């Protein structure tokens, strides 16, 4: 099962004087769920943009099945089997929800083989999957934020991807909705779709990911199984700051000294 | 009722309100009877309405459906007119051939010019297309083969041909209308609208924006070119100032917007109303007609910001309409 789907090697992305990504490398195995986390501004969305071909990286490359993504025009990336959602949702406002999804089915990976009618049927199936069938006829601009996130997922699924990049699809959802979203993602993954999930909700990301990659200030600072990564001092430092880590260390020393002092103290006389 | 619902009112999906479309088809059928009046003036008025409608359908495809506001479609009208003029002066007397040649030349020209021009967005695209129109007019005015500024005289228009050209224009308009209807419902129409709504999001869904923009502009050019190809022989004489008139550039845009941008019924309704009103005002107010004409356009834009087609879908009477205006002013 160690079949590499996506290889990110030494990717750097510079905006003016800022390296938003710097020498980031990791592999994504086929069928895996890779969680991508990091504090705000750590480069998660930039990396998603590089992987989906929206940005051409300044350094390094992303390859999918041996093909450099930077060589493929943006509109052809989904034909390779890579689909994404946007953190800032981008529905086609004047089209209905079903039409929005149908556009993906028409022009995505297998779009050329589908007629307009088949695309609409496929769109309806996907709306059932993500739970938007009840608002299929409504204009996309009418949707609430959680529903717009669902629409983003449905549009991405309509492209029939092998690799699905999800950029904060659970932000703004309540606990029940997060559970529903996780079930949805699990079922998508069970059908063999590799997932790359960017999310701030730790609970969600820990429960679904097989591997977690942590970015901080554009660099990869940790990679591994969820439990190992979250316990790593570097990750804690990235999220909570070096002063917090120092304070924790000082507290630990004080606590250790207190315990040590208590142990050395002779038992009270007069017992 | 929020803005999004309002956008949808009267538009009824990608082809627009079906009642409006049915009404327009009915009006088209009535227009078939115009030559029976044997009144040359009326026939010319309605032939011009049909001509503007065809050009408006052309503009609607690129400006309305694809969201790229072109100020250069008159170039295709002119090129179409010169295509048939060249054929006519070489002894070809066949309107179908005129139209086919004009469509082929215009589509090819739009594709070649569109390749660099359609990479531009927003205002820059508009300015570049205006430049194309001005350049084409100047080039033709300086080509002696095409008569230069003196223009080209085609054959004399006799009684029998007069109605033939009317019916030819009618067919061009019907073709543009039905073409718009079927294109809008097809995959192509959804690509155009996706590009209009969000070009980046469209690209991520697998739509090559450059390719489909060029396709939209080429079809748009074919409609304008076909109208020009019938206009030239019907008019009997063309020169650069007639074929590249500012009216022929601005009217189709205003007509589409007033009728209902991005709908199948809108361009025809706009053309009928605007060209008809223009003609009537000219008759009754010889000097001040442009004043009334301008006031009419301003009123329609203020009272029906989504175009006249909106009226067909408006539910809830005057109150709903006033409410909707408040939203648009906000």
What's the confidence (pLDDT) of residue A2?
59
Q: Could you tell me if A171 and A156 lie in one domain? A: no
pLDDT above 70 as % of chain A = 97
Q: List CB contacts (< 8 A) between B5 and chain A.
A: 139, 142
Q: What part of A 5-34 touches B (C-beta under 8 Å)?
A: none
Nearest CA in chain A to B187: A116
What residues contact residue A258 under an 8 Å CB cut-off, 6+ apart?
A: none
pLDDT tier at B330, thresholds 50, 70, 90: very low
Q: Hey, are the CB atoms on B206 and A104 less than 8 Å from each other? A: yes
Together in a domain, A71 and A188: yes
Q: Kindly determine whether residue A142 and residue B4, on different chains, have CB atoms separated by under 8 Å.
A: yes
Per-residue pLDDT, A268: 63
Residue-level pLDDT at B214: 94
Question: Count of domains in chain B?
Answer: 1
Q: Is residue A271 part of a domain?
A: no
A207 within some domain: yes
**Position B3 confidence tier, pLDDT thresholds 50, 70, 90:** very low
pLDDT tens digits along A73-103: 888 999 999 999 988 888 888 889 999 999 9
Looking at residues A236-264, what average pLDDT do you find? 81
Q: How confident is the model at residue B1 (pLDDT cuts 50, 70, 90)?
A: very low
Tens of pLDDT along A145-160? Answer: 888 888 999 999 999 9
Residues A191, A205: one domain? yes
Tell me if B197 and A77 make a contact (CB, 8 A cut-off). no
Residue A56 touches chain B, beta carbons under 8 Å: no
Test mutation, B206, B262, B310, chain A, max A CBs within 10 A: B206
User: What is the domain-level CATH number for residue B121?
Assistant: 1.10.3470
pLDDT digits (tens, 9 = 90+) for B44-71: 999 999 999 999 999 999 999 999 999 9
State which residues form the domain around B138: 3-329
Question: Are A105 and A47 contained in the same domain?
Answer: no
Q: Are residues A34 and A76 in the same domain?
A: yes
Residue B329: the pLDDT is: 52
Pair (A177, A248) in one structural domain = no
Residue A75 forms part of a structural domain = yes
pLDDT band at B179 (very low <50, low <70, confident <90, very high): very high
Give A15's contacts (C-beta < 8 A, 6+ positions apart). none
Mean pLDDT confidence for B291-319: 81
Of A93, A108, A141, which is closest to B205 when you measure between CB atoms?
Answer: A108
Q: Is residue A47 part of a domain?
A: yes
Query: For chain B, which residues lie within 8 Å of any Cβ of chain A, measuring from their own Cβ?
Result: 2-5, 7-8, 11, 13-14, 185-187, 190-191, 193-194, 197-198, 200-209, 262
- What per-residue confidence (pLDDT) applies to B65? 93
Domain stop point among A112, A144, A160 = A160
Length of chain A: 271
Mean pLDDT of A125-143: 89
- With respect to residue A196, please indicate whether it lies within any of the assigned structural domains: yes
Tell which residue, B32, B71, B20, has the closest CA to residue B268: B20
Residues A153 and A46 in one domain: no
Determine the residue among A69, A78, A84, A107 to mutate to test chain B binding: the one whose Cβ has the most chain B Cβ atoms within 10 Å.
A107
Q: What is the pLDDT of residue A41?
A: 85
Q: Do A52 and A177 fall into the same domain?
A: yes
Count of A-B CB contacts under 8 Å: 94
**Number of domains observed in the structure of chain A:** 3
CB contact under 8 A, B190 and A96: no
Q: B206, B4, B187, B191: which is closest to A155 by C-alpha?
A: B206
What pLDDT is stored for residue B129 in this prediction? Answer: 92
Asked if the structure places residue A52 within a domain, the reply is: yes
Any idea which residue has 């480069």 for tokens?
A43
Q: What ipTM describes this predicted complex?
A: 0.84
User: Which DSSP string do the residues of chain A spell out, in sequence order?
Assistant: ---EEEEEEEEEEEETTEEEEEEEEEEEETT-EEEEE-STTSSHHHHHHHHTTSS--SEEEEEETTEEGGGS-HHHHHHHTEEE--SS----TTSBHHHHHHHHHHHSTTGGG--HHHHHHHHHHHHHHHT-GGGTTSBGGG--HHHHHHHHHHHHHTT--SEEEEESTTTT--HHHHHHHHHHHHHHHHTT-EEEEE-S-HHHHHHH-SEEEEEETTEEEEEE-HHHHHH-HHHHHHHH-HHHHHHHHHHHHHHHHHHHHHHHSPPPS--
Task: List the CATH number of the domain containing A214.
Answer: 3.40.50.300
Tens digit of each residue's pLDDT (9 = 90 or more) over B6-27: 444 445 678 888 888 999 999 9
Structural domain of residue A20, as residue ranges? 1-81+161-231
Higher pLDDT, B15 or B258: B258
CA of B183 vs chain A CAs: smallest distance (Å): 12
Name the token pair of B186.
């097809």
Question: Looking at the structure, do residues A132 and A223 belong to the same domain, yes or no?
Answer: no
pLDDT for A269? 55
Upper half-sphere CA count for residue A170 (Cβ side, 13 Å): 24
Which residues from A are below 8 Å from B186, CB to CB? 116
Regarding whether A142 and A27 lie in a shared domain, the answer is: no
Contacts of B6 in chain A (CB under 8 A): none
């Amino acid at each position: 099962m160690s079949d590499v789907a996506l290889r990110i090697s030494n990717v750097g992305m510079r905006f003016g004087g800022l390296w938003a990504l710097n020498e980031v490398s990791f592999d994504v195995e086929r069928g895996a769920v890779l969680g991508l986390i990091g504090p705000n501004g750590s480069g998660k969305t930039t990396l998603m943009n590089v992987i989906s071909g929206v940005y051409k990286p300044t350094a390094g490359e992303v390859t999918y099945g041996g093909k450099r993504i930077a060589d493929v025009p943006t509109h052809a990336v989904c034909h390779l089997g890579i689909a994404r959602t946007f953190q800032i949702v981008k529905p086609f406002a004047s089209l209905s929800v079903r039409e929005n999804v149908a556009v993906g089915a028409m022009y995505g990976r297998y779009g050329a083989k589908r007629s307009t009618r088949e695309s609409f049927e496929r769109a309806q199936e996907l709306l059932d999957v993500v739970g938007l069938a009840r608002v299929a006829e409504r204009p996309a601009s009418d949707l609430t934020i959680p529903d717009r996130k669902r629409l983003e997922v449905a549009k991405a699924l309509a492209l029939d991807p092998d690799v699905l990049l999800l950029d904060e699809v659970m932000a703004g959802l309540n606990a029940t909705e997060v559970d529903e979203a996780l079930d949805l993602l699990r079922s998508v993954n069970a059908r063999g779709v590799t997932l790359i999930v960017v999310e701030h909700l730790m609970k969600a990301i820990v429960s679904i990911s097989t591997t977690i990659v942590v970015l901080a200030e554009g660099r990869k600072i940790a990679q591994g199984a969820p439990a190992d990564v979250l316990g790593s001092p570097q990750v804690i430092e990235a999220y909570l700051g070096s002063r917090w880590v120092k304070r924790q260390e000082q507290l630990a020393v004080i606590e250790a000294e207190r315990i040590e002092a208590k142990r050395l103290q002779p038992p009270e006389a007069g017992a | 009722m929020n803005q999004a619902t309002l956008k949808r009112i009267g538009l009824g999906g990608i082809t627009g309100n079906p009642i409006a479309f049915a009404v327009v088809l009915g009006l088209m059928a009535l227009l078939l009877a115009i030559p029976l009046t044997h009144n040359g003036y009326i026939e010319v008025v309605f032939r011009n309405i049909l001509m503007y409608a065809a050009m408006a359908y052309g503009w609607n495809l690129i400006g309305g459906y694809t969201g790229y506001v072109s100020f250069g479609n008159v170039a295709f009208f002119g090129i179409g007119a010169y295509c048939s003029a060249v054929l006519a002066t070489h002894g070809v007397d066949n309107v179908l051939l005129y139209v086919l040649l004009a469509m082929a030349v215009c589509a090819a020209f739009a594709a070649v010019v569109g390749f660099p021009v359609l990479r531009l967005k927003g205002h820059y695209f508009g300015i570049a297309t205006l430049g194309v129109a001005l350049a084409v007019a100047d080039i033709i005015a300086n080509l002696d083969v095409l008569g230069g500024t003196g223009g080209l005289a085609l054959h004399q228009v006799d009684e029998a041909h007069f109605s033939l050209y009317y019916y030819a224009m009618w067919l061009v308009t019907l073709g543009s209308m039905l073409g718009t209807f079927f294109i809008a419902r097809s995959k192509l129409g959804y690509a155009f609208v996706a590009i209009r709504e969000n070009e980046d999001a469209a690209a991520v869904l697998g739509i090559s924006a450059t390719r489909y923009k060029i396709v939209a502009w080429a079809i748009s050019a074919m409609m304008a070119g076909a109208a020009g190809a019938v206009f030239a022989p019907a008019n009997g004489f063309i020169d650069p100032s007639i074929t590249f008139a500012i009216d022929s550039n601005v009217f189709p845009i205003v007509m589409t917007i007033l009728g209902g941008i991005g709908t199948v019924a809108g361009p025809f309704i706009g053309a009928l109303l605007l060209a008809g009103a223009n003609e009537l005002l000219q008759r009754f107010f010889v000097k001040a007609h442009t004043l009334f004409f301008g006031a009419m356009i301003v009123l329609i834009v203020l009272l029906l910001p989504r175009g006249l087609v909106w009226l067909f879908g408006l539910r809830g009477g005057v109150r709903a309409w006033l409410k909707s205006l408040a939203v648009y002013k906000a």
